[in-house]
A = this chain, B = another copy of it.
Amino acid sequence: MTGNWDASNDGYRPLDEGGLRAYLAGLAPVAGLLGGDSATWTVEEVGDGNLNLVFIVRGPSGGVAVKQALPYMRLVGESWPLPLSRAHYEHLALSAHNRLAPGLVPRVHHYDEAMALIVMELLRPHIIMRRGMIEAIRYPAFAGHIAAFMARTLFGTSDLAVPAAEKKVQIATFCGNHALCKITEDLIFTEPYTIADNNRWTSPQLDDAARTIREDGPLKVAVSELKVKFLSETQALVHGDLHTGSIMVTETETKVIDPEFAFYGPMGFDVGAVIGNLLLNYFSQDGHASRDDPREEYKDWVLAQVEACWNGFTREFLALWDGARAGDAYPAALFAGDPEAHRRAQDRYMRALFADTVGFAAAKMIRRILGLAHNIDLEWIEDPDRRAACERRALRLARHMMVERHAIASIGDITGAAKESRRDGPAPLR
């Protein structure tokens, strides 16, 4: 599985800026979109992610973004090979997202399977949402948009919407993306709970917290239950990496990018990713606030988004369920004339999905503090004592969320607990 890319990637070559210019000049529709002579185009490599090359190309008439997979994990180096096929799954997922949630994902201009390369809409002036939130910028359209994206893509690829035969063809296709799934399996559900070379944390401040988590029996059971769900529940086509670094925003627009981890998995993994990352940002705010700018209102805004994301998602998901649909689950004929049973079915379904969401959100929070890949929300807090204070609160809430995920009654209980967990002492203002 790993390591065979160097032998078999016929037709693949990673592009530099000059190579990309020549490549795009040969694609008539893209060259037309950029306009003018290719020599006048600006080509800039801007990849700040962990896995790929990302270029921005601008010409006199317009711009495109180009993403090319590398045959190894960029964050780690050539010692960690990764299959180029992830570009294929990203392209498939982007196509599904464009069909189900048009306007909420970038349009695709060109896909080259051999080159593992996607040319897509240049999103400008959008910025990565995580960066905006670190600056305490509000995105009033975000919660509604992301709720709609999740409801439409998750419902629209689930057994509620799609006949089983058709869905199984899709499940089989995305089974091929197992190498990307394996990264999640190891880095999110296993390593932070054990001693692993990849782990790092704010040390020595959090050494005790990391040890406590490694020795927390109920927590290890809970994260293993979530891992089994991730391994074997093919509920819907999930984005698979839906954090605020995979969302580009303006005040009025929201675009979900980078679905290379896409596969058929539990819906709560996506919803939990959004909620877990909002909560991480919430806890990071005390590290960015100052006496002049305590950010209390922004913190409240972030928690309001946590609630708005879940509530909006629920509302839109159930509206889709109530509409015309072709799936084999919960056959409409079975519930026709029995609105009470219909409501009961929906309540129980959303209740189970909420427990999954809470658990996966917690898993996302813990891995970003104790595992390999951290979030700049917290990493950019320079003072390690201050950062550790924020991280400790996030860990405490995440532990509660994961172990009590079946008992937590509502999203309000989580935002309430988040507020409560900042009352452990004076806010560490600078």
Contact = CB atoms under 8 A, between A and B. Distances in A.
Contact of A334 (B169, B176, B220, B231): B220
Interface residues of A, number: 49
A235 interface: yes
A228 B327 CA distance: 11
A221 B165 contact: no
Contacts of A333: 190, 194
B227 A328 contact: yes
Interface in A384-420: none
B172 A341 contact: no
B348 A221 contact: yes
Contact of A178 (B165, B335, B340): B165
Contact of A228 (B232, B329, B334): B329
Interface in A370-392: none
Interface string A304-340: 0000000000000000000000001111011100101
A289 to B, nearest CB: 37
A181 interface: yes
A109 interface: no
Contact of A168 (B168, B178, B218, B341): B178
Nearest to A336: B194
B164 A231 contact: yes
Interface string A206-218: 0000000001011
Given A159-B232, A190-B334, A224-B334, 18 more contacts: A1-B165, A159-B231, A164-B182, A164-B231, A165-B182, A168-B181, A171-B171, A171-B172, A185-B328, A190-B333, A194-B334, A220-B335, A224-B331, A225-B348, A227-B330, A232-B234, A232-B235, A233-B233
